[in-house]
Chains A and B, each alone.
Chain A
């Protein structure tokens, strides 16, 4: 059944964090529910909707920014106590707005995830998990990587509440008391956890930052995965999930909010497989989502809160109720009154702002006064996309962005993103005197609050990328953000690697501490926690998203072993590590163990990609000629099947070809690096032979390339 939902905007509050809006349980049967939402100004607002207008129930005073909100209450009673956390403090409010709890969690860091269940309170800071019962400390756990979210599962099969942590290293950790019971591997860094069914409570939905959703059933000693929704269309990361029967078929549907503003409803068909039933795109990231009944009784709706604080409903209630003869679209009385109210407000504000500005102009002449800078928050994300080996930088500001300046001190490519409406201009830069390899300006169209960019880096070239963000605010100010491009920027953490491949080894021995070598690894590789892991030694596994080669990093105090099937990876690592060690004046003893098979292995891995690109180039060359023939003859029946095929697929081939030059260049670069690195380890300098290598690549044949690598 097709689902039709109409968008209604209710109110706007301040900037909101993930999971900070909840619906309070309905009072009677079939009445509208109240909405509680908390923002970065520390204001907790609770309101209901009467005749399309938001009627506030209560509003607290501003304070520290609120990171999470949860509803709780005594077991068995309606869950209508509101808990919010800000800083390291948890506060509880009744549904009337009376504060009944202030609890200082005594953590050194800020709380970033919280779960309330009866008298139990579970809070998480970056790496720490803490469980309090009636405000008394019960359990404690230190996680190996950043904790993104927490929830608790309970069922008849499980003896008691067991908390589940969503950790940045693609693992869900199930705890028992203060101990880790077991962990569950998930396909991406999980960002949100939600119970599928509140009453049964052992099925857990997770959403990842790379946009995947899955359902796992948590058992006492192990978990089983029920289903998984892949992210083929490259939509944004998941920020919030809820379950609610919005379709009305008696089965709870999954409501999903993403950071690119997409709202989705997944229903279940007869075979219990999730299928997309409805989606809607808002222009900014969706931070909270809930299903319920808010605007008008007996009409269900999906309520969403966005980053800038808009509370938006997608309701099943039809919007345009009346119509009559005539072409002109008549505004309903509500719309008319809304327009009038806005107009009046705008006029008043304009006068006020004008006065304020004049006053400001006058005081700014003063020699002793200091002009303060208005602060604004930027919600940014810099992540590696697995499927095209490029970085995705998303920036979101609470007001419209005026322009964005990108500066980089490493050679990077900026790719086109279809969603972007911003105008790009590249400034010419000379890398010699000022170390600029990229200067680009994005001028945004009106009302763009969110910008998405794709950046392609080269392995081995490391440095920083800086973004200067200027929003449309008066006075105009700018904020700078810095992003590290790591030496092995295309590597991604995985859970395990294939041990059968020919491996090259790099070993370091020297007088360094565990923390020191860990900091070097953090410097070299993405997705490694900054905190030094507990224990004596640690092993991380990575795989290269572009070529599919792998890397194993194993190190402890005074010793480090790195194994990879790609010589270039080893070469980059040894360069960077020795540079870092020299900086700290530590003597390193570096030894290599090079496997000669690994070169041909890597070349064979590159081969299909290179061949695909070359075949593509050849096909595209023919397209124009074939098209002309087709026009002359009227049809293409006389052509051989191969050419007919090219004609049929010409559109997709051309599109692919547009991206191709960069791809070919990248592949050539990697092969050249591999060539140089191979001989570097043998102590030879082969830079002079690069030109003949390029010649071979131009008339590419795998065997002659392999021969060339052997001979030279």
Chain B
């Protein structure tokens, strides 16, 4: 860490990181981000996002700014406008939706092949969400279906989560935090 970083640490200011939260509609992006916020700031009702919204939350050492993108088909072309700003990506998958797993894979492939993303080594965190649903696929199975093993030039990690209860989210964010820190130094 440089002197400047340490100074920030002493002052109690946290470094800001921009994160893109992507995924198909109804995969649970807004719910996950809502759950990551402190208890008193959480909203009760979650409705489908229109366009995108910007949310902020803090962890022990970083301050995250999340672009919560809408996952609906007609808004998906909006994603690429924010690729440049993103320093990390959270990709949310509905593990119980086996039918649209191929759509998620397609979107992931176009994301990875986008010129703004392709040559940057940015960490990608996958959330295999809706683990509480009885016939949900396991995280290993999801990673196979999305062919995550083919991602060679970026650090990635997949976590099984239940966003309604918040299970598994912390582990994922901890990993992301470690990755961002190690990238900076």
Q: Which residues of A contact B (CB under 8 A)?
A: 1-4, 247-248, 298-299, 316, 318-325
Q: Which residues of B contact A3 (CB under 8 A)?
A: 134
1/0 contact string of B152-165 vs chain A (CB within 8 Å): 10011111100001
Query: For chain B residues 118-139, which have a beta carbon within 8 Å of chain A?
Result: 131-132, 134-136, 138-139
Q: Is the CB of B140 within 8 A of A323?
A: yes
* Residue from A1, A298, A323, A325 with most neighbouring chain B CB atoms (10 Å): A323
Q: Is the CB of A320 within 8 A of B140?
A: yes
A50 CB, nearest partner CB in chain B, Å? 15
* Residue from A3, A318, A324, A325 with most neighbouring chain B CB atoms (10 Å): A318
Q: Which residues of B contact A325 (CB under 8 A)?
A: 148-149, 151-152, 155-156
B155 CB, nearest partner CB in chain A, Å? 7
How far apart are the CA atoms of A622 and B136 in the complex, in Å? Answer: 52
* Residue on B nearest A249 in the bound complex, by CB: B134
* Residue from B140, B143, B156, B175 with most neighbouring chain A CB atoms (10 Å): B140
Q: Is the CB of B158 within 8 A of A322?
A: yes
A4-B135, A320-B139 in contact; A298/B165 too (CB < 8 A)? yes
A325-B148, A325-B151 in contact; A318/B160 too (CB < 8 A)? yes
A1 CB, nearest partner CB in chain B, Å? 6
Q: Provide a sorted-by-A list of 9 A–B residue pairs whose CB atoms are within 8 angstroms.
A: A2-B135, A298-B132, A316-B134, A320-B139, A320-B160, A321-B131, A322-B157, A324-B157, A325-B151
Point out the residue from B134, B156, B168 that lies within 8 Å of A324, measured CB to CB.
Answer: B156
Q: Is the CB of B134 within 8 A of A323?
A: no
Q: Which residues of B contact A (CB under 8 A)?
A: 131-132, 134-136, 138-140, 143, 148-149, 151-152, 155-160, 165, 168, 171-172, 175
* Residue from B134, B155, B172 with most neighbouring chain A CB atoms (10 Å): B134
* Residue on A nearest B137 in the bound complex, by CB: A318
How far apart are the CA atoms of A323 and B175 in the complex, in Å? Answer: 11
Q: Is the CB of B138 within 8 A of A319?
A: yes
A385 CB, nearest partner CB in chain B, Å? 37
* Residue on B nearest A317 in the bound complex, by CB: B131
How far apart are the CA atoms of A320 and B172 in the complex, in Å? Answer: 14
Q: Which residues of B contact A324 (CB under 8 A)?
A: 155-158
Q: Which residues of A contact B135 (CB under 8 A)?
A: 1-2, 4
Question: Would you call the interface of chain B mostly helix, strand, loop, or mixed?
Answer: mixed
Q: Which residues of B contact A318 (CB under 8 A)?
A: 131, 136, 138-139, 160
B182 CB, nearest partner CB in chain A, Å? 14
Q: Which residues of A contact B143 (CB under 8 A)?
A: 323
* Residue on A nearest B131 in the bound complex, by CB: A318
A660 CB, nearest partner CB in chain B, Å? 46
A529 CB, nearest partner CB in chain B, Å? 47
How far apart are the CA atoms of A208 and B137 in the complex, in Å? Answer: 37
10 tightest Cβ-Cβ pairs between the two chains A and B? A321-B160, A324-B157, A323-B158, A318-B138, A322-B159, A318-B131, A318-B160, A323-B143, A320-B140, A323-B139
Q: Which residues of A contact B172 (CB under 8 A)?
A: 322
How far apart are the CA atoms of A316 and B152 in the complex, in Å? Answer: 33
* Residue on A nearest B134 in the bound complex, by CB: A248
Q: Is the CB of A322 within 8 A of B156?
A: no
Q: Is the CB of A321 within 8 A of B157?
A: no
How far apart are the CA atoms of A320 and B95 in the complex, in Å? Answer: 14
Q: Which residues of B contact A322 (CB under 8 A)?
A: 139, 157-160, 168, 171-172, 175
* Residue on A nearest B151 in the bound complex, by CB: A325
How far apart are the CA atoms of A316 and B157 in the complex, in Å? Answer: 23
Q: Is the CB of A321 within 8 A of B139?
A: yes
* Residue on A nearest B95 in the bound complex, by CB: A318
Q: Is the CB of B138 within 8 A of A320?
A: yes
A119 CB, nearest partner CB in chain B, Å? 40
Q: Which residues of A contact B160 (CB under 8 A)?
A: 318, 320-322
* Residue on B nearest A300 in the bound complex, by CB: B134
Q: Which residues of B contact A319 (CB under 8 A)?
A: 138
* Residue on A nearest B148 in the bound complex, by CB: A325
How far apart are the CA atoms of A319 and B172 in the complex, in Å? Answer: 16
